[in-house]
Amino acid sequence: MYPIIRMRRYRKDSNIRSLFKESEIRPEKLIMPVFVDETEKDKKEIPSMPDIYRYSLSAYENYIKYLEEIGVKSIILFGIPAHKDETGSSSYDSNGIIQKAIRTAKQNTDLNVIADLCLCEYTSTGHCGIIENGYVNNDKTLEIYQKEALSYADAGVDIIAPSGMMDGQVKAIREVLDKNGYTDKLIMAYSSKFASGFYGPFRDAAESAPQFGDRKSYQMDYHNGDEALREIELDIKEGADIVMVKPALAYLDIISRAKRLFNMPMATYSVSGEYTMIKNAVKSGYLGENIVDEVLTAFFRAGSDLVISYFAEDYIKSHGKH
């Protein structure tokens, strides 16, 4: 009448518990997003994202040296350009803000430098591609993405992360890289990126909100899981080295399904809105700080190999160098 199998044996004390710990956050698997702003003189806090800043190029240089010092291994860069136009031409300017930021990071640190590749920060329309008759033209956008990818590679980027959700973007970028001898540049594809309300704070941060309409004709419908897996499968066939699910918290089922289906390195992006929710709840004292550990652990437990999170800096700082 008593339990024969007692699960509580596994939990007796912290020494015993550590024997059975199944998943763990490895600081080197966390990637810190960094905003570099061509219009900024120093640094400015993003109002909806406490403790996250937009940096001028020189403030950025100090910041990434500091990140390296505390043990951060990888950053993902986002640029806010001084000039926007309909085709997002400053996105592939060899002296553009991201190109400069890549060179600065490669010259001053040993960080893995990942660059987000999109157009929404660079177009006057705020869309992730070229608009024709009120609609984003897929294939013309790919031509711009190729120029952008090549300019990132020329600047010395390690990993290119296309986030625009155009069909064929991974193949287009792989081709232009290979043709120019950049066979060793990795592609981290934002494969299943959903049209999500969780990007709100980022769009303030990067000044990249669409000026009309929304992104639903290219980003995914959050009702669809099977379709997300097809997106991931296609990116693998097109030559992606890492595939990503984004956002993270509301999409753990997709991460878990994809990890089981494909033998691929998987990343997940815990986006600005997720950061804002948790950060503000902790700041106001409604939730304890340990919630961050719980949430980051969930991403790894679900099957993610790499996690992009605005908590990366804090987490790594408080858990020491690895």
> Is residue 75 a contact point for ligand PBG (CB under 6 A)?
no
Among candidate residues 185, 246, 259, 279, the one labeled active-site is: 246
State in angstroms the smallest separation of the CB of 151 from ligand PBG.
17
Identify which of 67, 62, 95 has the alpha carbon closest to the alpha carbon of residue 79.
95
230 is in an annotated binding site: no
> Is residue 31 a contact point for ligand PBG (CB under 6 A)?
no
Rounded to whole angstroms, how far apart are CA atoms 210 and 188?
24
DSSP secondary structure code for residue 43 in this structure: E
Question: Dihedral of CA 257/260/264/266: which sign?
Answer: positive
Task: Cis check for the bond before 3: say yes or no (omega within 30 of 0).
Answer: no
Main-chain phi, psi angles of 318, to 5 degrees = -85, -10
Question: Which of 80/111 has CB closer to ligand PBG?
Answer: 80
Pick from 43, 103, 140, 203: which binds ligand PBG (CB under 6 A)?
203
State in angstroms the smallest separation of the CB of 145 from ligand PBG.
12
Residue 216 appears among annotated catalytic residues: no
| x/- map, 275-314, ligand PBG, by CB under 6 A | ----------------------------------------
Pick from 99, 123, 125, 272: which binds ligand PBG (CB under 6 A)?
272
Question: Which of 31/105 has CB closer to ligand PBG?
Answer: 31
How many other CB atoms sit within 10 Å of the CB of residue 291?
Answer: 14
128 is in an annotated binding site: yes
Residue 315 tokens read as 């987490």
* Residues 174, 157 contacting (CB under 8 angstroms): no
How many Cα atoms are found within 13 Å in the side-chain-facing hemisphere of 200? 10
Residue 12 appears among annotated catalytic residues: no
Using CB under 6 A, which residues numbered 125 to 144 contact ligand PBG?
Answer: 128
Among candidate residues 29, 185, 193, 279, the one labeled active-site is: 193
310 is in an annotated binding site: yes
# binding residues, ligand PBG (CB under 6 A) = 11
> Is residue 116 a contact point for ligand PBG (CB under 6 A)?
yes
State in angstroms the smallest separation of the CB of 112 from ligand PBG.
18
> Is residue 255 a contact point for ligand PBG (CB under 6 A)?
no
Contacts of 58 (CB under 8 A, 6+ apart): none
State in angstroms the smallest separation of the CB of 309 from ligand PBG.
9
* Residues 277, 310 contacting (CB under 8 angstroms): no
Rounded to whole angstroms, how far apart are CA atoms 305 and 25?
10
> Is residue 105 a contact point for ligand PBG (CB under 6 A)?
no
* Residues 254, 245 contacting (CB under 8 angstroms): yes
State in angstroms the smallest separation of the CB of 47 from ligand PBG.
15
Distance of CA 114 to the CA centre of its chain: 9
> Is residue 173 a contact point for ligand PBG (CB under 6 A)?
no
Rounded to whole angstroms, how far apart are CA atoms 187 and 170?
7
DSSP secondary structure code for residue 194 in this structure: B
> Is residue 163 a contact point for ligand PBG (CB under 6 A)?
yes
Rounded to whole angstroms, how far apart are CA atoms 78 and 114?
9
By annotation, the residues acting in catalysis are: 193, 246
Binding site for ligand PBG (CB under 6 A): 116, 118, 120, 128, 163, 199, 202-203, 208, 271-272
Query: Where is the binding site, in residues?
Result: 118, 120, 128, 203, 215, 231, 272, 310
